[in-house]
A and B are shown apart, each in its own frame.
Chain A
Amino acid sequence: MLELRNLSKHFGGVKAVDDLTLTVNEGEIFGLIGPNGSGKSTTVNLICGVFPTTSGAVLFEGRDITDAPSHRVVAAGITRTFQNIRLFGDLTVWQNLWVSQNSAAERGKGWFGRWLGGDRVGRGDAEDLLKFAGLEHRSGELARNLAFGEQRRLEMARALAAQPRLLLLDEPAAGMNAEEVSQLAARIKALRKYGMTILLVEHVMELVMGVTDRIAVLNFGQKIAEGAPAEIRENPAVRTAYLGTADA
């Protein structure tokens, strides 16, 4: 479904992502892990067109979306969340979902339809999403007044409101306690039932090991391992990257 071909991003001399090739299959929950600064978030930003790639290609459902502007990536069917939450703080919870419902669901409605028609298309969907995120009683609240955990859930709901087929979660468990992580895991598993494909970028190992089907490990921008969670856990190269060498 999503294919990265020899994807590279260099910032000056720093190879943030270096010749990365991987494939995410439809319906799969794919984990992308690695130590700090290994290029995980950069990979997400490259997929979403936040900054241009140095070389390589991004293909989604067979279409080349390399360096496409962000809103086109959304229209193609990919949405994301941010590592450091980026909600529209001065908009209400409801409005945060409202602005997001403007791509796939409304394609073919024409320019004016997309501008004005959001409420008619998505009211039912938005209510479902609020329920999914456990925010149904907070819909009139300004997003910046939400608690941290609620903000994370709203951001995920906002990404889903655009009706993506591939969801990129950039460290969704960062800053969460154990109970919140297990709730998040339940939500991610629930999404799989709806046929959502998910690319999960994460530090929190229990989450990644618990919900993913396959995992790729990055270190210094390069893929050092790929496989099922159990294989990754036993992989010596991964252990070295995370824990340092055995005799060090």
Chain B
Amino acid sequence: MDFYYGMAQLIGVHTLLGLSAYVVLLTGQVSMAQAGFFAIGAYLGGMLTVLAGWHIVPAMLLAAAASAVVATIVGFPALRVKGLMLVVATLAFGEAVRIFWFNFDYQIAKGNIQVGPLGGEGFKQIRYFPENGWSTGEVAIFIWVWVVIVMAAIWWMDRSRVGSVLRAVGEDELAAQSVGINLTAVKVSAMTIGGFIAGLGGGIYAHYTTHIEHLNFGVILATFAIAYPILGGLSSVIGVLIAVIFIQGFLVEVLRFMGDWRNLLFGALIVLAMNVRPDGLFDARATRTIRRLFGRQDA
């Protein structure tokens, strides 16, 4: 049973990561910085519960807010560049964050052991859940409550005017400007929202794994983050969830028996999926089919 709880936790956290990239991608920006925001949320969230003794919820929220602030600051210079240059700029930022935590030491004595981040050794003993007697199942439920809240919030946002504005910017910047949309404000806002969600995911991640190190937050995680909304499609937040289940649940777990050959097939399957369903696994047509199943005709 613990395996499935562990799986549910992983999928939940990666869904948050994917959703953070989804919001940014709506405005047409391919951001490789999400793993960096995720790392900031993870380290700060862990430090607040372990070193400052906070309850996990305010710790996560403050860590996410800090990620959002960093995302805003990064957003202004980064979003002046487009396309490949943006990918490179955000990738550089993500790596800079990782290197920061690689060099960062801040330990205090707790009882007879030292706790806190210790550079390359990582940040061990983030034991909020076990110390407070949470079972694995309870942690999984806790994670999914957050996933549902964030998904519902983005779902609602997508259907409000904000969603249309974000998509308008993603589709045609010149046209968006010419109907009075302030491109910088919209892109930086999307980056900020994305930073918050990634920070939230990071905060949860640090606590359920109990041990984080800089290597957890490298290019591979950044690639996963952007792969989810690209693979899942931008029709709906559900696409991100489906893509995470497809990658983490199916590709990573089911193909585990293949050993290191898995990675080869893994790449091939993603390329295949993108060719067969170029608008994402969960595209507009799938949305319509599901609506019909539930008896709701499209307008």
Contact = CB atoms under 8 A, between A and B. Distances in A.
Contact of B298 (A99, A140, A158, A162): A140
Interface in B135-189: 160-162, 164-165, 167-168, 171-172, 174-183
B239 to A, nearest CB: 14
B264 interface: no
A56 interface: no
Contacts of A71: 177, 180-183
B299 interface: yes
A87 interface: yes
Given A98-B161, A140-B298, A88 B168 contact: yes
B174 A87 contact: no
B175 A79 contact: no
A70 B165 contact: no
A89 B171 contact: yes
Nearest to B181: A71
Given A71-B183, A116-B160, A119-B161, A79 B167 contact: no
B179 A159 contact: yes
B160 A102 contact: no
A95 interface: yes
Contacts of B167: 88, 90-91, 95
A115 B161 contact: yes
Contacts of B177: 50, 69-71, 74
Contacts of A86: 172, 174-175, 178
B175 A87 contact: yes
A99 B174 contact: no
A80 B172 contact: no
A159 B180 CA distance: 10
B178 A99 contact: no
B161 A118 contact: yes
Contact of A80 (B178, B183, B298, B299): B178
A82 interface: yes
A119 B161 CA distance: 7
A117 B162 CA distance: 9
Given A70-B177, A71-B177, A100-B179, A88 B161 contact: no
A86 B177 CA distance: 11
A48 interface: yes
Contacts of A102: 165, 179-181
A100 B298 CA distance: 24
Interface string A70-106: 1100110001101000111111100100111011000
Contacts of A116: 160-162
Nearest to B172: A86
Contacts of B178: 48, 50, 70, 74, 79-80, 82, 86, 159
Contacts of B174: 50, 70, 86
A162 B183 CA distance: 16
Contacts of B298: 140
Nearest to A102: B180
Contact of A99 (B168, B182, B183): B168
B123 to A, nearest CB: 37
A79 B161 contact: no
Contacts of A117: 161
Interface of A: 48, 50, 69-71, 74-75, 79-80, 82, 86-92, 95, 98-100, 102-103, 115-119, 139-140, 158-159, 161-162
Interface of B: 160-162, 164-165, 167-168, 171-172, 174-183, 298-299
11 contacts: A50-B178, A70-B177, A79-B178, A82-B178, A88-B168, A90-B167, A99-B168, A102-B165, A117-B161, A159-B179, A161-B179
Given A88-B168, A159-B178, A162-B180, 13 more contacts: A69-B177, A70-B178, A71-B177, A71-B182, A74-B178, A86-B175, A88-B175, A88-B176, A90-B171, A91-B164, A92-B299, A95-B164, A158-B179
